[in-house]
Structure 1
């Protein structure tokens, strides 16, 4: 059969899709890029925010009316399976911790529902373009009050290190030059193995794979990063590892962090960043911030602004808090939308100001850059050793260049090959 995949959401979801593609191909089916040519459509969904969930509902409804067999996979199907059934009663449902059942869901003549699976965990041997994604763990060790993903990915499952390394070798042999090591919380890797093996071991082993490529470590919760920090920073010394740390702080106020059920304080987060920057001065500290979570009064929001000013994050993913069903935060007293919108404008303005200042420091400097993606028009996107995006012309995907930075914006920098 010909199977078409449509993927939404984070890098972990992309990695899950590549795992499903690998299993489908191993079974002898064909992965097609055309919805029209497909016998089966698989939509790998996201449910992280309210508007995302609404978008998933619309798209599932559209695909259910194509007359083709439909499999709804991912976090929306795992967290809200009853909603999926009401929208697409004939669709098979595959939770994100049941992706190993994709072959059964595709081949069955009947509607199938798998929300979890005890089958062995697989890793991908497929990539699209020059970036490969390898999930190293599914689920997390936290229990944040705002998070619906925890309902879909309730169990922490670390993938065998041997399988991860095999995937890396397979992807590099296909010409991949960037490997994203990803997970719902990459730093939680190995907790279900009793902590005898950690993310640091994964980074070290993958960096020893032969070939010219870079490793991008995905999102890590601050408390789990702190747990393994010394070993992790040692692994980051490899020239194959981007000096990039995605450490969501979510709020700069301890009271809000407690309401969120985050497992660290603001001072602990600051100490984490200080230690990273002390040992890796080039480190790119990227974060996530939620504006308007219950409990965030004006003073708490000002504490977040102060933290942003102090740390001067290289990149920030900022979102207004949105209600998610069956989460504890949704039952707390809510902040008015008007207040949340006004705060979003203020923090976005601050972020753009700081990002421009950060990027201005690259002006005139020369960096080694690997080209990983297509850009807009005739441009391509490369990455510096600390994962700053560089817009380039007249370059080839997958190649390394020495680049002089000639311009900048709050989002990226531009350069010319020298």
Structure 2
């Protein structure tokens, strides 16, 4: 029997798919390279935006046609599923399993005993918690993933130890809000324990919420030789009134203070964010405040989304009164600012020698998780020293100074 998993959405969904693959292979299934060769197809969906849901609707039609010629084919829908979508999909898949139901079938801690089937041979996702208690007014995650649950620290550390022993070089800790991790230890304490595991590897984490971001976490990041100087900190809006309507529980001033503290102690940190344009009632003046914040913070990357009403959320009750055209124009304005600041930030790397993790023969990434296009091939899954020669908005250009496998380069 062969299986094929199709994954939409965030890194947490990708991690869930890797864990499902492990369970299936332990049960005797083999991986199929595409849907045509599979006896079981699992679709791991995302409900954060309507466009993601629409892709699953489109795929379901393709799977229905496939079943006409292969009647024994079994299809399962899982992932972040809203109840409204579950009802619409019930006749399109043989079985529907929500994320919360999936946690009972494949417990988040199962990997402490059986490691997932990782999509990379040197980079591994490790979920430390799941769910969310924040209930941002636009977000479905608390409804699709449930309330926060933090894995025991001992279980997480055991999993990371096993991964490092297998030669992995990058550990990516995952959670809807890693800052709120709490299971006898808080997140900074967990990071300290993980960085103390012997081995030459990097640690990064996704994602953080500004309201929980502590000075202690900043210190741990700055003082560690293993934690990547990369921070994804979603601001969502540069206007206090909009932030209040979003139920974000911080002000623009508080967000700016965090960024100031982080950059003071880690000047070259790579900071990315999420921004929503066209939130219900967002005036031109309120959007202008977001524009000013973008210009002031000078983000390295921003994932700019046009507001999409989601069922069950508090914002769904608000009138979506910003036109699609206006949302698109606002997104374009912010993307233009981003392209300029991203280039300026990347140009600071020119002439520097950095430690880099080779992702594929022609691409690597810095310890700040900046992409590097290599001007000559290097061995994937190795650390190299790299001279940065040029910069573009979304990547650096670099020359490998050594292309043999090296796990003991200490320069940053």
State TM-score, norm by structure 2: 0.89
2:312 aligned to which of 315, 326, 329: 326
Partners of 2:186 and 2:83 lie apart in 1 by 27
User: Residues 177-326 of structure 1: matches in 2 within 5 Å?
Assistant: 177-190=169-182, 193=183, 196-226=184-214, 229-231=215-217, 233-326=219-312
1:99, distance to aligned residue in structure 2 (A): 2.3
1:50 paired to 2:50: yes
Q: Secondary structure at the match of 2:42?
A: strand
1:180, distance to aligned residue in structure 2 (A): 0.9
User: Which deviates further from its counterpart, 235-244 or 46-55?
Assistant: 235-244
2:88 aligned to which of 77, 83, 87: 83
Q: Secondary structure at the match of 1:122?
A: helix
CA contact (8 A) 1:140 1:188 kept: no
1:74 aligned to which of 69, 79, 104: 79
1:121, distance to aligned residue in structure 2 (A): 4.0
1:101, distance to aligned residue in structure 2 (A): 5.0
Partners of 2:39 and 2:104 lie apart in 1 by 18
1:336 paired to 2:323: yes
Partners of 1:42 and 1:332 lie apart in 2 by 35
CA contact (8 A) 1:60 1:72 kept: no
* CA distance 1:34–1:210, change in 2 (3 Å): farther
Matched with 2:4 is 4
1:34, distance to aligned residue in structure 2 (A): 3.5
Q: Secondary structure at the match of 2:128?
A: strand
Matched with 1:107 is none
Partners of 2:232 and 2:100 lie apart in 1 by 23
Partners of 1:137 and 1:258 lie apart in 2 by 26
Matched with 1:60 is 60
1:286, distance to aligned residue in structure 2 (A): 0.9
Matched with 2:405 is none
1:142, distance to aligned residue in structure 2 (A): 0.4
1:231, distance to aligned residue in structure 2 (A): 4.1
Q: Secondary structure at the match of 1:241?
A: coil
* CA distance 1:311–1:78, change in 2 (3 Å): same
1:399 paired to 2:382: yes
2:343 aligned to which of 353, 356, 359: 356
CA contact (8 A) 2:221 2:229 kept: no
Partners of 2:9 and 2:385 lie apart in 1 by 33
Deviation per CA, 1:334-358, whole angstroms, max 9, x where unpaired?
2111211111111111110111111
Matched with 1:150 is 142
2:98 aligned to which of 90, 95, 100: 95
User: Which deviates further from its counterpart, 74-83 or 320-329?
Assistant: 74-83
CA contact (8 A) 2:275 2:305 kept: yes
State TM-score, norm by structure 1: 0.88
Q: Secondary structure at the match of 1:187?
A: helix
CA contact (8 A) 1:203 1:236 kept: no
Partners of 1:301 and 1:64 lie apart in 2 by 44
Partners of 2:233 and 2:39 lie apart in 1 by 41
* CA distance 1:317–1:102, change in 2 (3 Å): same
Partners of 2:25 and 2:289 lie apart in 1 by 51
CA contact (8 A) 1:18 1:125 kept: yes
Partners of 1:78 and 1:241 lie apart in 2 by 39
Partners of 2:397 and 2:231 lie apart in 1 by 22
CA contact (8 A) 1:141 1:188 kept: no
Matched with 1:111 is none
* CA distance 1:4–1:78, change in 2 (3 Å): farther
CA contact (8 A) 2:125 2:171 kept: yes
CA RMSD across the alignment: 1.9
1:211, distance to aligned residue in structure 2 (A): 2.4
Partners of 2:192 and 2:59 lie apart in 1 by 40
User: Which ranges in structure 1 are unaligned for 5 or more consecutive residues?
Assistant: 104-118
